[in-house]
Amino acid sequence: MSDSFNLAVGADGGGTTLQALMDACETGVLNARIAVVFGNKAEAGAFRRAAGRAIPTVTLRRQDYASPEALTAAFRAFLRPHQVDLICLAGFLKQLPPAIIREYEWRIINSHPALLPFFGGHGWYGHHVHEAVLASGMKVGGCTIHFVTEEYDQGPIIIQRAIPIEEDDTPDTFAARLLPHEHECYIEAVRLIVEGRADVVDPPDWAASAKVWNGSSGRRKHVRFRP
């Protein structure tokens, strides 16, 4: 058994969040190591960044697998040998197999570029989110780091941060200003989990009857932090 806290990072884009995590691990900000990077696109910038640090990569294109069970087996084939403690989704554009989500319950996290539960759910990602936030007339936007469940963007919220929307912001300028905050929040969320300080707990009893946004359940679990 390894004494390291091992991360698997799923990424399909340029890999800026992956880069932030790699830097945090190498500088000791995180007492962890990135054991493997996986994604749907072998040509993604994230894979080039991983190769530059000699981190193994795994490509998982759904069309290459005959069944959902075969895809699930492919995930297990690299997660188990690398003794992965936490799966970090950082621009991974497909939903993980349900069996993997269940096997790694409360050990998968994701970053969303809005203040959930607003502007979340299936099909809400990246530039689409920033356009919708600005078009709504909201005065703040932000990011959310949350645990992953089988429902899109419905997992317990770990960290959120809001920043003001400027009068002259475009989706591109707002996204650029938000990105460093996403990286900081992601690293902090991983740090809390690595240190065993983020517990998933049941919500208070009164939440069951509370009105909530966008069909979200009032029974959504909460995250409580230890000192």
Residues that are catalytic: 112
Tell me the sheet residues that pair with 38.
Answer: 10, 58
Beta carbons of 140 and 162 less than 8 angstroms apart: yes
97 SS3 class: coil
Distant-in-sequence, close-in-space partners of 63: CB < 8 Å, separation ≥ 6 = none
Sheet holding 140-147, edge to edge: 57-59, 33-39, 6-10, 86-89, 108-112, 140-147, 157-164
Choose among 139, 142, 155, 152: nearest CA to 185.
Answer: 142
The number of beta carbons lying within 10 Å of the beta carbon of residue 114 is 22
Tell me the sheet residues that pair with 222.
Answer: 201
